[in-house]
Structure formats: structure tokens, C-alpha cells
Homo-oligomer: A and B are copies of this chain.
Amino acid sequence: MGSGSGTEQKWVYSFGGGAAEGDAGLRNLLGGKGANLAEMAGLGLPVPPGFTITTEVCTAYYENGRKLPDDLNHQVIAALENVGQVVGAKFGDIENPLLVSVRSGARASMPGMMDTILNLGLNDETVAGLARRAGDERFAYDSYRRFIQMYSDVVLGVDHGVFEDILDGHKNFAGAMSDTELGADDWKEICDAYQEAVESELGSPFPQDITAQLWGAIGAVFGSWETARAKTYRRLHDIPDWWGTAVNVQAMVFGNLGETSATGVAFTRNPSTGAKEIYGEFLVNAQGEDVVAGIRTPQPLTEAARAEAGETAPSLEALMPDTFAELVAVFDRLEERYRDMQDIEFTIQDGKLWMLQTRSGKRTTNAALKIAVDMAAEEVITRDEAVMRVDPAGLDQLLHPTLAPGAVKQVMATGLPASPGAAIGQIVFSSDDAEQLRNQGKSVVLVRIETSPEDIHGMNAAAGILTTRGGMTSHAAVVARGMGRPCVSGAGSLRIDYAAETMTTGGETFRKGDVITIDGATGEVLKGAVEMHQPELSGDFGTLMGWADAARRLGVRTNADTPRDAEQARQFGAEGIGLCRTEHMFFDEDRILAMREMICAEDEAGRRAALAQILPFQRQDFHDLFRIMAGLPVTIRLLDPPLHEFLPQGDEEIAAVAAALDISVNRLRERVSELHEFNPMLGFRGCRLAVSYPEIAEMQARAIFEAANLAAKETGAPVMPEIMVPLVAYRREFDVVANVIRQTAVAVEAESGTALTFEIGTMVELPRAALRAEEIAAGDEGAAFFSFGTNDLTQTCLGLSRDDAAPILNSYLAQQIFEVDPFVSLDRDGVGELVRIGFERGRTAKPGLKVGICGEHGGDPASVTFCHDVGLDYVSCSPYRVPVARLAAAQAAIAAKLGDGDTKD
């Protein structure tokens, strides 16, 4: 780093006394807290004077082997003297000691960092001066003991239990029930006992040198940047190590100087509902920490809130009307300045208001929606800004029932939060039972070790799904998210005994029919029925989504296989179906037998006979979807999974199926074994099925075309199906299957006398397809559209099976090889480059090529942003993710318009 000796680098920024060297724009340099303190000071708001040591010092500290810059010392001393002058006190002065707080402050709020040390500047001598000056010995020694405890804990690493034991012992001895019953002498004794305990713990006395205290505290803040907790938090929130933290040193003000003093926290609007009302609480004669400690019950700020809560203790509005009015004025000033709801800390010392912190307040998604819409109505922010204010990921919580806040919970196990929402139901261990009980009007939770495609009907029938194996992207998780069913996956501590129909954990056994609750938002599995909260899609939701739709360029479609999904998705604003997986349709009980007959057929004639049985079902499926989507585009993917997924596995099941198919058990077993694959993901599936058995594609194409004719007649709206050939790697594969489809179209046209309009495209889900995109899209007979299947593209690009990834993911996230699960958020560097290559090459061959994405990533906000940036036409995601994608798409468009105001880089 090193500034030359001539112009020294500025490491320290002062604020207070009606002026400041920095402002809110210097967030990267001063951290969030420091920048906001400077901003408030600059606005002339009452901020205790202080200074900020910049984030550059933190960076220099680590680059220099944990050594602070040499020229920092005198800058800090000078700033400290300045603070003393403003408040009329002096650091270390025995008669009139200046006390300061030391706080960390990174760019983004960061739990896991050292937070706060208060009352620094006290020692055995200055405490006496403070007592004299304040005329309150009890206050002085109470402050001192707080400082000793806090400093010893945070800076010196002494376990805080040591101090609690001493305090409890003293109270016992003094016969006191609470701290307030203790007097000055008690606190003096406790201070002594604290110091003795520190010395006995550490082998050296508690530091009486206040300058050493100050540097100790500053060092502790910088040191806490690299604690495991802080690092983990940064990794989870994508915060780079080099950002560093700032340190804020600020003159103490005291809310505990008697009945005209107080301390409190407030939001400028209600962070839970978003209502425009002051929201917060305060305590008379207390320090900030007391408000959150929960020993005394804080009082509401406003009369309205007091009345509503039925509180008897007076509100601040009633108790100190002038100060309250001043506070309200400050709130207005801050909202006007920051153009957002603020989260504020304040202290009143002897009737004088001091602002200690302001920042944009965290809020529920509901509140975020209301605040954004209100502020746009107030013309404080634009509609685009309103759209940017709501976290798309949070929308999920709006759309599902959730556990009621504060509900009583008995957690029996915890798994992964695989699909959001909560569900209550009776336990069942098989999909058939799930269906049966649902048909009896009961709500069930389907409990399986893991699910397979044969469980689709059970998952559909269940209110929620619980598995003991599998990750966030296991079959259960993916299907559940797609269906909008709450799901907890991989709850490994549960032991399932299918034969006994029991589930055991911690020595307790649950039987089929017992009621449990699962919380897909937290992964918790709970005993009994826990109170639920039903979603309300408020008018603000609709308003904001409307603004989002106006702002976005990306289309948003849905992945939907059933009428139910399709209807749900349209309610959520889907603009078409981007992926209809036709195989899910084959697992229904009335079809799977025909499917199995097809698979076991000895020849094409046998296959055709079986397919003829399936045709009417498929036609009906498509007919329903076309009717529901009423002219919106519908992309239908031809049969994709390996055939063995449709065959039975266990001996009993094989026997039953063989009997139903009227073939020998041996023949069926042989077929199962023939179709067995080592790596089914890389096996006989996708268009490979249609290349070998063109009659399957022919039946599906016929079902699509006939359904399109029916739906068009019924609705009067023309249907333009997009038929998608899966797993293409070679242009010739595409041609072979496309020819079958085109020939079928000619046949259906001849039979019906109606001209068909349709497009044939491909799912780009193999690296080769992306690389050869130009060839695959070339010419009139080339692919008319691409849909990136980023699930499979991730599997092949990374060489990582989604179904087997769980143990690898854990280790890779822990070792920071993955910043985020690549099946949840698109790997931009690898998979993303293939998407980019495929997109660019496809468009080179065919400038009008329609390009979308239909992997699970289509509902992940970061991935949606990526899709916008690349230039895709649309994303497609599961129904419950449609609003998320709409909002994320809008934010991507607005961010791009603003030149990407991403503060992270």
C-alpha cells in the first residue's frame, strides 16, 4: 500500500459537531455504519462525535501480516482529541474522562464479526472521575463493570460465564433479585471481583492503560474479520475477503443517566407489515444492550402501538413528547434522505436525543412489497426502484402456507429445506397409501427413504414429502418444488422401516397415521399439527409484479406437466409452458401397463399396439394443457428418461407386472436386466429412444397434433405447439427425429384436412450440443428453438451426477470449492460459458432463433440475471417460481439499464 512520506494516506475520517469528512457515498471505504454516521452528522442530525478507521486499514492489516499501518497511530490520536473537543472531555482525563464505543462496520452487515465495546476509556481512576462528573457513583461503576465484562469477553477471550457467576453470587449474597437492587458499592465490589477473575484466568491483570484498551479493541475488530464464523457468513453471502471492515470509534452517550435518559430502537415503518407507522421500543434509564437483553420489557414508542398492545407502561410519545417529536422529525429526514425505510438506534441522555445508527431496515417480503409500492405512490422512489427493493427469493415464502410465527414446535428431526412451505398430515410410507388416504379426504405426508418416478402419484396426492436420503436436488426435492409441495429431504436421523410402517428417531417411534408437520422453509420435522399461516397475495403483490412485468425483457414460462400445474402457473403469471415433460404422464396407473407392454414388446408391431393404447391418454393430456394455456406457447419435450425407469424392480412387483402383461417372469426379468445401465444419466434416453424406436415419437407427435386441432376448435385460439427433441448432440439425431415428426404432421393434416402450425426445436443439455449449436440450428429444417436444459448441462459439464452429489456438495461447499450449489444457481464460469456459446452459435446460424432455459435454474434469481445478460428470450421454471423469475428478470433489466449498480464488485 504505502503512501509516500510526502502525502500520507488518510486512514481516519471524523464526524460529529454538525459536520463530517465522509458521507453515505463512501460506504466501501467507511463501511455501512461509518458512512451512515457521517451522513447523519453531515445532515446536522445529533450524532455523538467520533471517527471511522477505514476498510483500507483492514486490508493493509492482513496484507502486512496482521500489522496496522505505522501512520495510523497519530491519525487516531488526532481524531480522538477532536472528539474530546466537541464533547468537552478528554480521553483518560481523571476529572472529565471521554468514553467511547468501538464498533465494527463492514460494507454489508455481517454477523460473526466483533460487534461492540462500550464505555471504553474507563479504568480504576477515570471511573472515579466519571462518578464525580455525573454525580452518580452507581452509574459510573455499573458502566465500568459492563466495560470490564465486555472487553474481557470480546477482546481478551475470557468466557462471559465467569462474570455471570460472579454477579449471580453477589446478588445471592446481597439478597438482591435483580440488578436494579444493587447499589454503587455492590458494583464497586463486582468490578474488583471481575478484575481479579480476569487476572486469574489470563495470568495478567486487566489493562488499566486506556490507550492499550483502545488499540486492543481496534485490533479485535480487525481480527474478527477472519474468524471462522465471519468467513462462513461471507462465503454464504458471496462477500469477498478483500472488502475488509472499518472500525467506528464514537463518544459515548448514556441512556442510563436517570429518568430523563433512555435508549431505543425504531423502524421508520412497520418492518413486518410495511405500514407507514413508527415502530419500535425503548427503555428508560438503560443502555442499548438492555433493550435486546430481555431482562426488562421495553415500552412502545407511540401511543397507538401502546394502545394496540394493551400496554400500561407509557409510550415515549407520552413520556417525552418533545424528544419524541424531534425523533419523528429525524425519521422523516432520514427517509427523505435514504429513500427507504430506516432501522434506527437512538439514545436520550438527560432529555437530549442522540442518533447512534441508521440503516435500511430488514423487512418481511410482505413489508418489502408494501413499502416499495407505498414509496412509489408517495413518489419517493420510481417504480423501477420499487421493483429493485424486493428480494425475489423471498417471494417463495408468500406463495406457500407457512408455520405461524411463534407457533409451538417440537422438532423431531431436521433435514434440508428442499421445497418451501409447510404441511401437516398423517404419515404414510407408500405412494399408494398416500393416494388412497387423500381420496378419503385426508391430508398426508409421504415419508420415503427416497422417491422415484413411480412415486409421482403419491407425491401429487400428499400435502408434503419427507425423505431421509437425498439433497436439495434429489428427485424428491426437484419434483416437490415443481409441484409446489413442501418437502424436507435428507432427514438422515430418521430410520424408516417400510415393513413395519414405522419411522424412528431418538428412541421414539411414529406409525402410519400419526400426524406430523414439516417445514420446507427450515427443514424441520415436527411432532403433531403445528399452527399454520395461509398465504395472502395482497394487492401490493399484484401491483409490484405489474411494474416488474413492465420492466423486464425476459419472458417467463413454466415447467408444467399437469393441468393443475399449468393452472397454478397461469395464476402466477406464466406466459406459456417452457417444458412439459411427457414422461410424467406415463406413470399414471392407467397408462404404465401399456408403457410396460411397449417396452417388453418383441418388435415394432408390438410396440405400436401398446402405443396405440397410450395415444388417447396423451392426446387428452395435451388437449387439457393447450386449453388452459389458451394460445400461449407450449413446449412439449418428447419422452426422455431411460426405459428401465418404467419397469418394476422388486421380485414381487416383477411377478405382478409379468402376470398383468401376460408374459413370463423370466422374460420380464430379462428385459429389466437388458435395460440395466451403469450410468443411466448417460445412457439410452432422450432422443436416443426416438432414434431407435421412432414409433414412440410418432405417437407423441400425433397426440400433440390431434390435441392441437381439438383445442383450436374448442377455444378458437390457434395452438402452435413447440415440439422439443431432448438430449441432442448431433445434428443428424435431430434430423432423424424431426423427420418422424414432420411425416406425422403430414399424415394428421391429410386425415383432418386442417393445416398444422408447429415448431421443432431441441433441448441443449449436452456440451456437444452447445458447441455444435450452429450446425444444429442451421437452415429451415434445423432447430427452430433452443431450450437450455441446465440441469443436465451442469451434470455433464461438471461431470457430477445430481443424484449422487449430496456428499460431494457438502465437502465442496465447506472447502469453498463451490461458492454455491451449482444445481441451485447456475455455474456462470463453466456451464454459463456453454450457454453463451450455444446461444451465440445458434443465433449465428439463425438470427431469429428462439432461446430459453428450462432447467431448475430458471427459478433462481442469480441465474435469471445471467439469462438476461446473455440475451435469452425466456426462462421457464416450476409454477411456484414464476413470480420469482418475473421479479428477478425485471431486476436484471433495470440493473442493466442502470449500468449494473451491483455494489458487490
A729 adjacent to chain B (CB < 8 Å): yes
Structural contact, A798 and B729, CB atoms closer than 8 A: yes
**Which one of B686, B736, B804, B831 lies within 8 Å of A683 (CB-CB)?**
B804
Bound Cα distance A829, B774 (Å): 12
CB of A800 within 8 A of chain B?
Answer: yes
Contact B771 A834 (CB under 8 A): yes
Indicate whether A808 reaches chain B with its CB closer than 8 angstroms: yes
* Given A732-B817, A829-B772, A830-B771, A679:B812 Cβ within 8 A: no
Q: How far is the CB of A35 from chain B (nearest CB, A)?
A: 33
Q: Is the CB of B815 within 8 A of A766?
A: no
Give the contacting residue for A799; candidates B796, B817, B831; CB below 8 A: B796
**Cβ-closest chain B residue relative to A830:** B768
Q: A94 interface residue, CB < 8 Å from B?
A: no
List chain B residues, Cβ under 8 A from A691. Answer: 811-812, 815, 817
Q: Are B677 and A801 in contact (CB under 8 A)?
A: yes
> A683 to chain B: which residues have CB within 8 Å?
800-801, 804, 808
Contact with B along A804-825 (1 / 0, CB 8 A): 1001100110011110000000
Task: Give Cα A488–Cα B736 distance, bound, in whole angstroms.
Answer: 32
Measured CB to CB, the nearest residue on chain B to A686 is: B799
User: Which A residues from 719 to 768 make CB contacts under 8 A with B?
Assistant: 727, 729-730, 732-733, 736, 765-768
- A736 nearest in chain B by CB position: B815
Question: Does A896 sit at the interface, judged by CB under 8 A?
Answer: no
Q: Which of B679, B729, B736, B799 contacts A766 (CB 8 A)?
A: B799
CB distance from A885 to the nearest CB of B (A): 25
Given A688-B808, A767-B830, the answer on whether A678 and B801 have CB atoms closer than 8 Å is: yes
Residues of B within 8 A of A811 (CB): 688, 691-692
A679 partner residues in chain B, CB cutoff 8 A: 679-682, 795, 801, 803-804
Give CA–CA (A624, B803) in the complex, Å.
40
Residues of B within 8 A of A827 (CB): 768
Max count, chain B CB within 10 A of own CB: residue among A681, A683, A767: A767
A185 at the interface (CB under 8 A from B): no
Cβ contacts under 8 Å, A817 to chain B: 691, 730, 732-733, 736
Please indicate the chain B residues that have their CB under 8 angstroms from the CB of A688 in the complex. 808, 811
Query: Taking the complex as formed, is A833 at the interface, i.e. its CB lies under 8 A from any CB of chain B?
Result: yes
0/1 string, A666-685, CB within 8 A of B gives 1 = 00000000000111111110
Give the nearest-CB partner of A765 in chain B: B799
Residues of B within 8 A of A765 (CB): 799
Nearest B residue to A811, CB-CB: B692
Q: Which of B692, B733, B799, B829 contacts A682 (CB 8 A)?
A: B799
Q: Please name the residue on chain B nearest to A768 by beta carbon.
A: B830
Shortest CB distance A767–B (Å):
4
Task: Name A683's closest neighbour in chain B (CB-CB).
Answer: B804
Q: Is A797 close to B, CB under 8 A?
A: yes
Output the least CB separation between A491 and chain B (Å): 16
Tell me, yes or no, whether A792 is within 8 Å of chain B by CB: yes
Q: Which of A775, A799, A815, A831 has the most CB of B within 10 A?
A: A799
**Pairwise interchain contact B798-A830, C-beta atoms closer than 8 A:** no
* Complex alpha-carbon distance, A692 and B834, angstroms: 28
Minimum distance in angstroms from A835 CB to a CB of chain B? 11
Interface residues of A in 700-715 (CB under 8 A from B): none
Residue of B nearest to A679 (CB): B801
A830 and B772 contact, CB distance less than 8 A? yes
Pairwise interchain contact B767-A732, C-beta atoms closer than 8 A: no
Known: A736-B815, A815-B736. A797 touches B681 (CB 8 A): no
Q: What CA separation (Å) do A795 and B677 show in the bound complex?
A: 14
Does the CB pair A803–B767 fall under 8 Å? no
A682 nearest CB across to chain B (Å): 4
Given known A681-B678, A681-B682, A808-B684, contact A799–B729 (CB-CB < 8 A)? yes
Known interface pairs A691-B811, A729-B830, A736-B815; 15 further A-B residue pairs with C-beta atoms within 8 A, sorted by A's residue number: A677-B804, A678-B681, A678-B803, A678-B804, A679-B795, A681-B801, A683-B808, A688-B811, A692-B808, A729-B800, A732-B816, A766-B797, A766-B798, A772-B829, A772-B830
Among all A-B residue pairs, the 9 with the closest Cβ atoms: A682-B801, A768-B830, A679-B801, A766-B799, A767-B767, A683-B804, A732-B817, A678-B803, A679-B681
Q: Give 13 A-B contacts (CB < 8 Å), ordered by A residue.
A: A679-B795, A679-B804, A681-B801, A683-B804, A691-B815, A729-B797, A729-B800, A730-B817, A767-B767, A768-B797, A768-B799, A768-B829, A775-B829
